Structure 1
Amino acid sequence: MTEGPDLFGQVPVTWPEVVDWCARVAGITPDSPRFLPYVQSWRVVEKIAASKLANFRPPLPSPELNR
């Protein structure tokens, strides 16, 4: 995630990045009914774009959370 703004000043965000972010941060998968409301309510795309500009990637969820 080390991309910067494109020619128009936008930071590109892909669907796989959204899925990965939601799995890492919220533990939500795309098949969950909470997935799209979470993406919209918590402005996930904007957070991913900001994290790219800051060169930050959320850590993998700890294994004990997946029990």
Structure 2
Amino acid sequence: MKISISLYISIDLAKSLRAAGVQKCPGLINNRTNRSVFILLALVVVVVVVVVVVVVVVVEIVLVVIA
């Protein structure tokens, strides 16, 4: 249950980050060199989200084992 909640939060965060990026620099997506930077940033966000989810899962497993 908590995993899905954290997933929703992270997806929401990624969406808001993307929206903020689009609002700040509208020419970002049109430019080819900046597009690769944008994709890189998106990959970084995805990696961070995955790491957060893994940490949450590990912490919950540890808590279950302790309890």
Asked if TM exceeds 0.5, the reply is no
Q: Which has the higher helix share?
A: 2
Q: What TM-score do the two structures reach when normalised by structure 1?
A: 0.31
